[in-house]
C-alpha cells in the first residue's frame, strides 16, 4: 500500500519549479541491530517548510534528522536525511510514497532495508576495550571498582551500555572521565574511561562482562570539494557492539571467627558518633537520641544503630534525618534520630550503643561505641484530680459551700419554669451540642494520624507519594531541551515514587531487580513497561539521548505511564 505525506507538506511545504525532481535513496541497505541507516529524500528546486514526516514500517524509528542544501547545474537541491534505527531484525520495505508537486503526482521508492542480529566483538584493529576490577577477591558488601577503557583511532561519537548482567551485584552509576590521547606502539589512540562500583550481595564466583554500543566516526577515503572551494572529507558513522574480556571476582562472606553479635554486614572504614538531649527531664518526657555513621564503605545499604524497647525506655521508630553521600554511595555520612522516653525515675543513663564493621584493609572486625549518656530523671508531677484518698479507708470530699475570702459563697440559682422545646429547637440543640464532640473526634483522628506519620516516616512518604509524583511530572516540562537532564529527572521520579510507594530500597530500583518486588503487585504489561523505562533511563543517563526533537514526546509518554501506574496501584 502506498503512503502519502501529510497534506500540509503537499500543499505548503513544497514549492517546486516546473522541472522539479524527487528521489528516495537508502544507505546502507543491510545493517545490524546496532547500526543505523540513512534514508535521503532529495528534492530539486526551492523548498519551504520543515522536515517532512515519514510513515515507516513497524520495527524502524527515526533517530534524528538533518537538512542539506547543494547547487547542481545552477539549480538548488534540498536533501532531507533521516537516520533510521532498527527496533527488531527483519526485512523492511520503506515506501513507495506518492508526492504531489505542481499538481503532478510523483512516486518515490520503495527501498528495502535488511536488519540482522548484532555481532559482539572483543576488539578491532582500530578499537580496543579493556575492563579491570580493583579486587579479584571481595567480601559480601565490599565495593569493587570497575574501570572500562576504550582506545580508538577514530573519533567516538556516542557510547552506550548495551547489556550488563549484574546478577549478584548492586551496580551504581557509571562516571565518565575526560577524553585523552595516548600513543601505544607508535599509534595514537583516543581514550575514553568510565568507572563504577559493584557491591556483591551474595557469595560465589561471579563473572562480569558489560557490552557497549559504540558509534565510531570514520573518514571516507574520497575527498570532496565544497561549494566554497574548500576540500572536505566526509565522515561515516559505524556502530560496533564491543565487549571486553570478562573479569572474575571471587566473593566470600566475612569471616566467622571473631564476628561480633551485632554485626549487620557493614564493610569498610567508619566513624561512629552520637548524642542525647535533654539530659534533665521528668518521667514521660522525650529524649532525642541522634546517631551518625560516616566514612567509606557500603553506606548506601546501612543505617546507624538505634535503641530497642526495654523496661527502662519506651522507644519510637528511628527516622533518617541526613544522608550526605557521594554519587557512588560509598562515601559520606548518614544520621538518624530516635525518640526515647524514660518509664520511671530510677533511669540514670541512656545505655551505650555499639556499631561493628569489618575492615578489609586490616582484615579484622572493629567495634565502636558511644555513650552511656548520664540522665537526671525526676518523677512525673502529681496532678490534683478532685477527691483524694486522705488515709487508709478514708475519703476526703468537698462538703458545703466553698468560701471565697470572708463572705462570698457559690450560690446555685433556682431553676426557672420549664417549657417544652419545639421540633426545630430540638434539632438545633442536638446539632450544636454534638458539634464539639464531632470536632474533638476529628481532631483526635488528625492527631493520631500525624503521630503515625511521626512514628513511621515510611508510611508518611507512602501516603504523600501520589501528590509528590504529580509535582515531579509537572517539573519534567523544564527539562525537554536537554535529554540528559530529562532522563535524570525521570530516573529520580521513578526511584523516589517506587521507593516511597512500595518501600523499595534505592539499590533495588533497577530493571533487573524490580520484578522481585512488584511481580504480584502490578499487571504483567505494566511491569514490563516499567522495566523498559528503567532500562531506557540507564542507557540515557550513561551516554545521553540522541533525538532532541523527541524529548517533549518522551516527557509526555512518561507522564501518561506514571499516572496510569499510580491509578493501578490505588485501585
Region 115-122 average pLDDT: 77
Q: What is the pLDDT of residue 409?
A: 45
CA distance 528 to 185: 48
Top-confidence range, 350-354, 434-438, 451-455, 507-511: 350-354
Q: What pLDDT, on a 0 to 100 scale, did the predictor assign at position 508?
A: 65
Per residue in 97-114, pLDDT tens?
Answer: 877 655 677 788 899 999
Q: Which pLDDT score is estimated for 334? A: 92
> What's the pLDDT score for residue 553?
84
The stretch 319-334 carries a mean pLDDT of 85
Residue 445 has pLDDT above 90, yes or no: no
Q: What is the pLDDT of residues 17-28, one digit of tens each?
A: 444 578 888 988
Nearest to 247 by CA among 134, 335, 151: 134
Instruction: Work out the pLDDT band at 275, boundaries 50, 70, 90.
Output: very high
Name the percent of the chain lying above pLDDT 70: 78
370 close to 272: Cβ distance less than 8 angstroms: yes
**Which carries the bigger pLDDT value, residue 247 or residue 327?**
247
Q: Tens digits of per-residue pLDDT, 127-181?
A: 999 999 998 999 998 999 999 999 998 888 888 898 898 889 988 888 888 888 8
Q: Which of 359-363, 412-416, 469-473, 529-533 has the lowest mean pLDDT?
A: 412-416
pLDDT > 90 in the chain, percent: 25
Given this model, what pLDDT does residue 232 score?
A: 62
DSSP labels, 258-309: T--TT--S-BEEEEEEEEEE-SEEETT--EEEEEEEEEEESGGG--------
Mean pLDDT for all residues in the chain: 79
How do residues 38-51 score in pLDDT, each as one tens digit?
898 888 766 666 77
What pLDDT does residue 158 have?
Answer: 84
Using CB atoms within 10 Å of the CB of residue 34, give its burial: 0 to 12 exposed, 13 to 18 middle, 19+ buried: buried
Residue 309 β-bridge partners: none
More confident residue, 306 or 540: 306
**pLDDT in the model for residue 302:** 85
Region label for 258, one of left (φ > 0), alpha (ψ between -120 and 50) or beta (otherwise) = left
User: Mean pLDDT, to the nearest integer, of 445-449?
Assistant: 72
Query: In this predicted structure, what is the pLDDT of residue 346?
Result: 94
Q: What is the pLDDT of residues 193-246, one digit of tens each?
A: 999 989 898 899 989 989 998 888 888 766 665 555 565 667 788 888 889 999
Q: Mind giving me the DSSP string for 343-405?
A: -STT--EEPPEEEEEEETTTTEEEEEEE--EE-EEEPPPPPP-SSEE-STT-EE---SPPEET
pLDDT tens-digit series, residues 499-522: 888 877 655 677 777 877 787 788
Contact 113, 224 (CB under 8 A): no
Residues in the chain: 571
What pLDDT score does 390 carry? 42
Q: What is the mean pLDDT of residues 286-307?
A: 90
Long-range contacts of 546-553 (CB under 8 A, 24+ apart): 546/63, 546/64, 546/158, 546/483, 547/62, 547/63, 547/64, 547/483, 548/481, 548/483, 549/64, 549/65, 551/479, 551/480, 551/481, 551/482, 551/483, 551/486, 552/480
Task: Reply yes or no on whether the pLDDT at 10 is more than 70.
Answer: no
Per residue, what are the HEC states of 141-202?
Answer: CCCEEEEEEEEECCEEEEEEEEECCCCCEEECCCEECCCEEEEECCEEEEEEEEEEEEEECC
Amino acid at each position: 500500500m502506498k503512503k502519502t505525506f501529510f497534506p500540509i507538506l503537499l500543499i505548503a511545504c513544497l514549492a517546486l519549479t516546473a522541472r522539479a525532481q524527487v528521489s528516495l535513496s537508502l544507505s546502507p541497505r543491510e545493517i545490524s541491530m546496532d547500526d543505523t541507516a540513512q534514508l535521503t529524500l532529495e528534492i530539486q528546486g526551492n523548498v519551504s517548510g520543515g522536515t517532512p514526516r515519514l510513515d515507516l514500517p513497524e520495527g524502524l524509528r527515526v533517530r534524528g534528522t538533518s537538512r542539506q542544501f547543494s547547487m547542481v547545474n545552477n539549480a538548488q537541491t534540498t536533501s532531507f536525511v533521516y537516520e533510521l534505527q532498527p527496533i527488531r531484525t527483519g526485512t523492511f520495505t520503506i515506501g513507495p510514497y506518492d508526492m504531489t508537486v505542481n499538481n503532478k503526482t510523483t512516486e518515490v521508492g520503495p527501498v528495502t532495508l535488511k536488519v540482522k542480529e548484532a555481532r559482539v566483538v572483543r576488539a578491532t584493529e582500530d578499537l580496543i576495550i579493556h575492563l579491570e576490577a580493583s579486587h579479584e577477591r571481595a567480601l559480601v558488601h565490599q565495593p569493587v571498582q570497575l574501570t572500562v577503557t576504550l582506545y580508538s583511532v577514530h573519533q567516538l561519537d556516542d557510547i552506550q551500555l548495551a547489556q550488563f548482567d549484574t546478577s549478584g551485584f548492586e551496580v551504581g552509576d557509571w562516571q565518565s572521565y575526560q577524553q585523552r590521547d595516548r600513543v601505544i606502539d607508535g599509534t595514537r589512540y583516543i581514550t575514553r574511561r568510565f568507572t563504577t562500583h559493584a557491591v556483591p550481595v551474595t557469595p560465589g564466583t561471579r563473572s562480569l562482562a558489560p557490552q557497549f554500543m559504540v558509534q565510531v566516526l570514520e573518514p571516507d577515503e574520497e575527498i570532496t570539494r565544497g561549494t566554497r572551494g574548500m576540500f572536505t572529507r566526509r565522515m561515516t558513522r559505524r556502530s560496533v557492539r564491543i565487549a571486553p574480556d570478562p573479569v572474575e571476582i571471587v566473593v566470600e562472606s566475612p569471616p566467622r571467627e571473631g564476628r561480633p553479635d551485632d554485626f549487620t554486614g557493614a564493610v569498610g572504614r567508619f566513624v561512629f558518633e552520637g548524642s542525647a538531649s535533654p539530659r534533665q527531664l521528668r518521667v514521660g518526657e522525650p529524649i532525642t537520641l541522634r546517631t551518625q555513621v560516616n566514612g567509606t564503605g557500603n553506606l548506601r545499604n546501612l543505617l546507624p544503630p538505634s535503641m530497642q524497647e526495654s523496661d527502662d525506655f519506651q522507644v519510637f521508630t528511628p527516622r533518617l534525618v541526613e544522608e550526605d553521600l557521594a554519587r557512588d554511595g560509598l562515601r559520606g555520612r548518614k544520621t538518624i534520630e530516635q525518640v526515647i522516653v524514660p518509664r520511671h525515675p530510677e533511669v540514670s543513663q541512656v545505655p551505650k550503643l555499639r556499631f561493628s564493621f569489618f575492615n578489609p584493609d586490616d582484615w579484622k572486625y572493629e567495634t565502636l561505641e558511644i555513650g552511656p549518656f548520664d540522665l537526671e530523671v525526676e518523677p512525673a508531677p502529681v496532678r490534683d484530680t478532685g477527691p483524694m484518698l486522705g488515709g487508709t479507708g478514708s475519703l476526703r470530699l468537698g462538703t458545703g459551700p466553698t468560701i471565697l475570702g470572708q463572705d462570698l459563697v457559690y450560690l446555685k440559682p433556682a431553676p426557672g419554669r420549664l417549657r417544652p422545646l419545639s421540633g426545630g429547637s430540638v434539632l438545633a440543640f442536638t446539632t450544636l451540642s454534638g458539634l464539639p464532640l464531632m470536632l474533638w473526634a476529628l481532631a483526635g483522628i488528625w492527631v493520631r494520624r500525624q503521630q503515625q506519620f511521626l512514628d513511621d516516616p515510611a508510611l508518611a512518604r507512602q501516603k504523600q507519594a501520589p501528590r509528590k509524583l504529580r509535582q515531579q511530572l509537572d517539573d519534567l516540562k523544564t527539562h525537554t531541551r536537554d535529554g540528559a537532564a530529562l532522563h535524570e529527572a525521570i530516573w529520580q521520579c521513578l526511584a523516589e515514587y517506587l521507593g516511597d510507594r512500595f518501600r523499595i530500597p534505592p539499590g533495588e530500583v533497577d530493571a533487573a531487580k524490580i520484578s522481585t518486588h512488584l511481580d504480584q503487585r502490578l499487571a504483567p504489561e505494566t511491569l514490563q513497561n516499567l522495566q523498559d523505562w528503567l532500562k531506557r533511563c540507564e542507557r540515557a543517563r550513561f551516554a545521553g539521548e540522541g533525538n532532541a526533537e523527541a524529548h517533549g514526546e518522551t516527557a509526555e509518554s512518561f507522564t501518561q505511564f506514571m499516572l496510569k501506574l499510580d491509578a493501578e496501584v490505588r485501585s
